[in-house]
Each structure stands twice: as structure tokens, then as C-alpha cells.
């Protein structure tokens, strides 16, 4: 089993769009059996992890392994949503990197469908980011991330619109306009209610939408040379704010993984 140990301050994944792979920060601590080889500096914060564990036993979470650089966090926006929740709630956690192309037997025993993210809460393995984040909110209510029901679905149609446009091979099929319509609606909401979906404080709705917008920016920029237009300044400002959060930079996928992850859907 390949595992990686994380605490809310130890995962640091930095990237610039379409740049070459950056080295993971020395504050990232791995513990895996051979034959994997990691640089010695990855062990420097081992004692820090033990201090965090004394406060609360780390939560075990299974996540997608990188398809471009094994041993690194992969490109799942739903997994990042859960990791963001853990980070914003300051909960220590242990990450288990799963090669989804070659799932280990121990993983299939706890997740017969072979899906991530998967987290262990109260000795039970829980799947689905919606279920996981709700369970975390109930078990660890401070700081609160819940959003009022009337705002819970704000921006929720952006991701499916993005996927349709990304996969489209017909420039006149209207999928780009559908995406622009959804982004315009979101732009209006942030202008009137921002800077975040629920106002001044970040909420679970932002932690769900942020990773999807990250994928939108990278995938559409790479495959369609498309970006959010300047006519939607509040969307662009919102993305900049979310992407610059410490919790986001620690848990985001590298651009090359996002590109590789969407490749089969675009080419297929």
C-alpha cells in the first residue's frame, strides 16, 4: 500500500499554468515502501505531523494518484473539494494515493466501485464528495462552512456546461453560449453578493466550485485556447481569490495532470 501523510499545513503543491512540473515543497512528508524513492527533505516535518496527530488522529482519505508523476496528488476536483474542507476546518489527515488504472486489492475491498474520494469516519468508509463534506460539517461544525439552501446551487450548472463545451467538436452547437450564460449568471451573483458565494466568508459552495473552475481554466485554455472573457470581471476576480487561498494551493492538481485527465474525454 502506498500512503502519504498530510496535515493541514504540510501539503504544498505549486504550479503555474502549462509550466513544467515543479518540485513538491520540502514541507510535504511521504512514507512509502520501496521501490519508490523520495528525496530526503520530504521527511523534515515528520515531528510536526506527530504534534498535529496528538490534537486529533488524522482522518484517512483515499485519493487519485497522479497519472503523470506517480506519488503525487491527482486531478480529481471532487477529491480536492474534500481536501479543501479538511484544510479549512484545520483537520489533520493521512492521504492514500490510489492508482485508478491499477487499483490495489485492499482498496477494492473497502470501495467495491473503486471510486475516490473515500474517507474513514467513525470506523466507516464513506464515498461521494457530497456525502463526505456533509458528514464533516456535522461532525466538525467549527469553523462552519454550511451555506443557506437558497445559495447552495449557485454556480452548480457551470461544470456540466464546461464539460459539454470542452467535449464539443462543433463550434456552432451552442455549448459555448450555454457556458457563457452560466458564467454571466454567476458573475451577477458575485457582483451583488460577493466576494464569495455566501458573502464575505468562504463556504462549502466555494470549496465545491473552486476546483471545477480550476479545471475549466486549464482544460479550456489548453484544448480550446479559451478563457473567461474580460466582460465577466467578477468571475475572474472570484477565481483569482479562490485559487490564491493557502488551502487551495496546497491541494490543487498540477496543470499537466488536469490536461492528461481530460484528454480521453476530449479526444474520444
For the annotated catalytic residues, the residue numbers are: 76
CA distance 101 to 55: 36
Three-state SS letters, 92-111: CEEEEEECCCCCCHHHHHHC
Host H or E run for residue 59: strand 59-64
Question: Helices 158-167 and 255-267 meet at what angle, rounded to 10?
Answer: 60
- CA–chain centroid gap for 78, Å, is 6
Continuous H helices in 56-200 = 77-88, 105-110, 129-139, 158-167, 175-193
Question: CB–CB of 262/215 below 8 Å?
Answer: yes
125 φ, ψ (degrees, to nearest 5) = -85, 130
User: Of 116, 263, 258, 143, which is closest to residue 207 (Cα–Cα)?
Assistant: 143
User: Of 107, 44, 103, 98, which is closest to residue 71 (Cα–Cα)?
Assistant: 98
Continuous H helices in 194-254 = 204-223, 233-243, 246-251
Task: Let me know if 120 is exposed, middle or buried by CB neighbors in 10 A (0-12, 13-18, 19+).
Answer: middle
Amino acid at each position: 500500500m502506498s500512503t502519504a501523510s498530510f496535515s493541514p499545513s504540510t501539503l504544498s503543491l505549486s504550479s503555474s499554468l502549462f509550466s513544467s512540473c515543479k518540485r513538491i515543497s520540502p514541507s510535504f512528508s511521504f512514507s512509502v515502501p520501496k521501490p519508490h524513492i523520495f528525496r530526503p527533505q520530504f521527511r523534515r516535518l515528520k515531528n510536526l505531523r506527530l504534534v498535529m496527530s496528538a490534537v486529533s488522529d488524522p482522518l484517512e482519505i483515499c485519493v487519485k494518484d497522479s497519472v503523470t508523476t506517480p506519488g503525487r496528488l491527482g486531478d480529481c476536483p471532487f477529491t480536492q473539494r474534500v481536501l479543501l474542507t479538511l484544510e479549512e476546518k484545520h483537520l489533520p489527515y493521512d492521504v492514500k494515493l490510489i492508482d485508478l488504472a491499477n487499483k490495489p486489492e485492499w482498496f477494492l475491498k473497502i470501495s467495491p466501485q473503486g471510486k475516490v474520494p473515500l474517507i474513514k469516519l467513525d470506523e466507516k468508509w464513506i464515498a461521494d464528495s457530497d456525502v463526505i463534506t456533509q458528514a464533516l460539517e456535522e461532525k466538525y461544525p467549527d469553523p462552519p462552512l454550511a451555506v443557506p439552501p437558497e445559495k447552495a446551487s449557485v454556480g452548480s450548472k457551470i461544470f456540466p456546461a464546461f464539460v459539454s463545451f470542452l467535449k464539443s467538436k462543433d463550434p456552432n452547437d451552442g455549448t459555448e453560449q450555454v457556458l457563457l450564460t452560466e458564467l454571466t449568471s454567476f458573475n451577477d451573483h458575485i457582483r451583488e453578493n460577493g466576494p464569495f458565494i455566501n458573502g464575505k466568508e468562504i463556504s462549502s459552495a466555494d470549496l465545491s466550485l473552486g476546483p471545477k473552475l480550476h479545471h475549466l481554466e486549464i482544460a479550456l485554455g489548453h484544448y480550446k485556447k479559451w478563457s473567461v472573457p474580460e466582460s465577466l470581471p467578477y468571475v475572474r476576480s472570484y477565481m483569482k481569490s479562490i485559487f490564491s487561498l493557502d488551502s487551495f494551493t496546497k491541494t490543487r492538481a498540477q496543470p499537466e495532470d488536469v490536461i492528461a485527465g481530460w484528454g480521453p474525454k476530449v479526444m474520444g
